[in-house]
């Protein structure tokens, strides 16, 4: 059964059906009727409901954007709901109704919606090396979105648009799928670090079943996969996160915390969650060979990790001096531009 939060999209280029418009006040309905008649758009009226048969919602919104018949306040007073052919008007349908202003915000996120609709996410990979001998022991999968014109959408824009338009569930699910499929396509060996947002998973058994299924189908040993919690500073429900990590561990995967040391919250998570790996925030690693304050924080984290039998990964290493310092002070793994930048293809794969 499809999950409405992560496997469906609120706006797609192919979605069409009967569009229902309702209005906060009669005057707004009358203004809308005047616009529809002037624009020669077929419609019928039932009191405070206007119905437009066989309408593509995306095309209708684009037309409103160009014609500008309503201001922002008026758009807030008009609700729009698209019913699929043959669909009845029930409670579930009502949950998809939004103000025109909200639909306009989604229209602004159209590049991301198209990436999601046509599953155009890919993963680039950055090497992770062993401190002991410098050998590449794995890769982190880093999300990219392929735009229709050939360019790329990077994580900053992806997650900013997703957060603003309630699309984090869809993005997180497709990102996990892209990481697994791209890694399998390249035949990558070793560890595979896959980022995930705990706030985009409301029920691990239901939401992560597909991830476990993809890994099994692709023949990827669960012991190779490290699911990495990102945005640790924003985790508010630690018990929920524990349930997610327990689900992963029960399936044979390992877990990591990202950006550890960037604030109190991540240290609190470290104490309560006991991850398999911690990634020390790159702001602590930057110039660590010359900065006593950063060294103090790093050594404290290294001591905690050693005491709890947690592997420590130093992230963001760019110089030999930074590498030498973390090598002498407890790091097990390292990642950064010194070893390789993220790329669509992995050398030797």
Read off the pLDDT of residues 246-272 as tens digits, 9 standing for 90 and up.
Answer: 888 888 889 998 888 766 556 777 778
What number is the average pLDDT over the span 43-49? 94
Residue 22 has pLDDT above 50, yes or no: yes
Q: How high is the pLDDT of residue 144?
A: 97
Q: Which residues pair with 229 in a beta bridge?
A: 196, 257
Q: How high is the pLDDT of residue 109?
A: 93
Give the least confident one: 5-19, 171-185, 254-268.
Answer: 254-268
The beta-strand segments (E) located in the chain are 16-23, 44-46, 49-56, 78-83, 98-99, 121-130, 136-146, 152-153, 191-196, 225-229, 254-260, 277-280, 311-315, 333-335
Q: DSSP 3-state assignment of 20? A: strand
Residue, of 2 and 108, whose pLDDT is higher: 108
Q: pLDDT band at residue 2, thresholds of 50, 70 and 90? A: very low
Q: How high is the pLDDT of residue 263?
A: 61
User: How many C-alpha atoms does 21 have within 13 Å on its Cβ side?
Assistant: 29
CA distance linking residue 330 with residue 349, whole number of Å? 30
CA distance linking residue 22 with residue 79, whole number of Å? 5
- Cβ pair 269, 257 in contact under 8 A: yes
CA distance linking residue 138 with residue 272, whole number of Å? 26
Q: How high is the pLDDT of residue 117?
A: 93
What number is the average pLDDT over the span 215-231? 87
For the residues of 265-291, what is the DSSP string, one character each? HHHHHHHHH--SEEEE-HHHHTTGGG-
Q: pLDDT band at residue 204, thresholds of 50, 70 and 90? A: low
Give the least confident one: 192-196, 271-275, 302-306, 338-342.
Answer: 271-275
Q: pLDDT band at residue 210, thresholds of 50, 70 and 90? A: confident
Give the least confident one: 1-10, 110-119, 204-213, 327-336.
Answer: 1-10
What number is the average pLDDT over the span 48-68? 95
Q: How high is the pLDDT of residue 347?
A: 64
Which residues have CB under 8 Å from 84's CB, separation 6+? 15, 17
Residue 122 has pLDDT above 80, yes or no: yes
The beta-strand segments (E) located in 147-238 are 152-153, 191-196, 225-229
CA distance linking residue 57 with residue 69, whole number of Å? 16
- Cβ pair 208, 247 in contact under 8 A: yes
Q: How high is the pLDDT of residue 1?
A: 42
Q: pLDDT band at residue 184, thresholds of 50, 70 and 90? A: very high
């Amino acid at each position: 059964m499809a999950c409405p939060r992560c496997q469906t999209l609120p706006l797609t280029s192919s979605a069409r059906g009967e569009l229902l418009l309702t209005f906060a006040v009669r005057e707004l309905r009358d203004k809308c009727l005047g616009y529809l008649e002037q624009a020669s758009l077929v419609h019928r009226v039932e009191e405070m409901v206007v119905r437009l048969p066989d309408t593509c919602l995306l095309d209708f919104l684009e037309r409103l954007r160009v014609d500008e018949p309503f201001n922002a306040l008026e758009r807030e007073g008009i609700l729009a709901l698209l019913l699929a052919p043959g669909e009845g008007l029930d409670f579930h349908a009502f949950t998809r109704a939004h103000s025109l202003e909200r639909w306009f915000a989604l229209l602004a996120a159209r590049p991301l919606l198209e990436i999601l609709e046509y599953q155009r996410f890919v993963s680039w990979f950055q090497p992770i090396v062993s401190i002991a001998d410098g050998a590449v022991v794995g890769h982190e999968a880093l999300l990219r979105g392929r735009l229709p014109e050939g360019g790329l959408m990077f994580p900053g824009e992806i997650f900013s648009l997703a957060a603003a338009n309630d699309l984090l569930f869809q993005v997180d699910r497709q990102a996990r799928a892209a990481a697994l499929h791209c890694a399998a396509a390249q035949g990558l060996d070793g560890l595979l670090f896959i980022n995930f947002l705990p706030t985009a998973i409301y029920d691990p058994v239901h939401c992560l079943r597909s991830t476990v299924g993809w890994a099994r189908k692709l023949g990827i040993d669960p012991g190779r996969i490290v699911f990495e919690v990102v945005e640790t500073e924003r985790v508010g429900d630690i018990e929920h996160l524990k349930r997610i990590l327990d689900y992963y561990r029960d399936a044979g995967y390992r877990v990591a915390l990202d950006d550890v040391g960037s604030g109190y919250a991540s240290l609190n998570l470290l104490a309560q969650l006991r991850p398999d790996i911690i990634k020390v925030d790159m702001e602590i690693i930057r110039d660590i060979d010359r900065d006593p304050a950063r060294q103090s924080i790093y050594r404290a984290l290294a001591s905690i990790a050693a005491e709890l039998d947690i592997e420590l990964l130093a992230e963001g290493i760019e110089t030999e001096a930074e590498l030498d310092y973390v090598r002498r002070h407890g790091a097990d793994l390292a990642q950064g531009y010194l070893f390789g930048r993220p790329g669509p293809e992995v050398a030797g794969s």
